[in-house]
Amino acid sequence: RGVADVATSRKRIEVQINQLQQSSGKLEGQAQQALAAGREDLAREALSRRTAVASQLTDLQTQQASVQAEEEKLTLASQRLQSKVDIFRTSKETIKARYTAAEAQTRI
């Protein structure tokens, strides 16, 4: 379940990154339109907002890398635990078979 929760968080971060990238592109387009219209003040404002979006984007990308590393770590831990559970089950079945064989031999 932990792996699934982390994967969900990673996907949410990816969606946010995509949205911020689109927003950054729109702000750049707005800045170009403002310059074309001779409105430097609006262009500066759009570029200022784009810089803030770029900062958020960098933070989210760092977060994404961290979450992805955590997901990989949890996946490996899950695989190790599953391996231990499988070994335990095999051992349990072996002991059960020995017990059944010993019980049958005692009856004979």
Residue ranges of domains in the chain: 2-81
Residue-level pLDDT, tens digit, the chain, 108 residues: 888 899 999 999 999 999 999 999 999 999 999 989 999 999 999 999 999 999 999 999 999 999 999 999 999 999 999 999 999 999 999 999 999 999 999 988
- Contact status, residue 60 vs residue 16, Cβ threshold 8 Å: yes
Residue position matching structure tokens 């810089």: 51
Query: What is the phi/psi pair of residue 11, to 5°?
Result: -65, -40
Mention the CATH class of domain 2-81.
Answer: mainly alpha
Sign (positive or negative) of CA dihedral 85, 91, 93, 99: negative
pTM: 0.69
